[in-house]
Amino acid sequence: MIYHFNKRRNFYFLSFFVLLAIALVSGCGVYSFSSSGGSGIKSIAIPIFQDQTSEFGIREKLTDIVIDEFTKDNTLKIDDRRNADSLLEGKIVRVDDQAGAFSRDETVQDIKITISVSVKYQDLKKRKVIWEEVLSQWGTFNPDGSDNENSTREAAIDEAVTKIAGEILNKSVSGW
């Protein structure tokens, strides 16, 4: 009787491992943290962003930083439009300067620069839009120059552009 019990237990034990091996070999599906992982998207084209504002140099800066972010992330290979699986297009639609904080004597302590960008990410193989959104981010600077690190408008623009580039990357490669 004990022999039969051990034989039955061995049978169940062996059956479990056989089923587990079949499941692993057959691949019960592909799971990916990347939104591009299951869709076959392996490359992206990023043409220079358009700019409908009067700000000089932001479109080049934003395009370069977005490309750098995708290059560092290495989830998608940067390619030209003819060969890429996906396309990221963007347009700077607004750049606003606003007083951010005031001192007790009501002088402006910092100025907030907000940049808004319309972005569209497309699957070129399936000819469909993956996501499309207007993204806005900001940076600040001290107009009196007392904070050397953040004392220029250019530094605030760099801060906002870097935040936008990070958000674009996250929306494009994450599946959440």
Q: Is residue 146 domain-shared with residue 166, that is, in the same domain?
A: yes
Average pLDDT, integer, range 118-130: 97
**Residue of 75 and 32 predicted with greater confidence:** 75
| 142 in the same domain as 75 | yes
At residue 46, the pLDDT reads 98
Do 4 and 64 lie in one domain? The reply is no
* 111 DSSP 8-state letter: E
Residue with tokens 């060969």: 83
Do 18 and 92 lie in a common domain? no
Q: In the structure, what pLDDT confidence band is assigned to residue 175 with cuts at 50, 70 and 90?
A: low
Burial (CB count <10 Å: 0-12, 13-18, 19+), residue 26: exposed
Check which CATH number belongs to the domain holding 42 and give it. 3.40.50.10610
Range(s) of the domain holding residue 23 = 1-30
pLDDT at 170 over 90: yes
pLDDT digits (tens, 9 = 90+) for 91-101: 999 999 998 76
Instruction: Judge contact between 164 and 22, C-beta under 8 A.
Output: no
> Do the Cβ atoms of 118 and 95 come closer than 8 Å?
no
E-strand stretches of 48-126: 50-51, 77-78, 86-102, 108-123
Q: Mind listing the pLDDT tens digit for each residue in 53-71?
A: 999 999 999 999 999 999 9
Note whether 26 and 90 are same-domain residues. no
Rg (C-alpha) for the chain, rounded Å, is 26
User: Is residue 47 helix, strand or coil?
Assistant: coil
Q: Check whether residue 25 and residue 94 sit in a common domain.
A: no
DSSP state at residue 127 = T
Residue type, 138: W
Q: What is the pLDDT of residue 142?
A: 84
Structurally, the chain folds into a number of domains equal to 2
Answer whether residue 116 shows pLDDT above 70. yes
Non-local CB neighbours of 58 within 8 Å, separated by 6+ positions:
51, 92, 95, 115, 157, 161
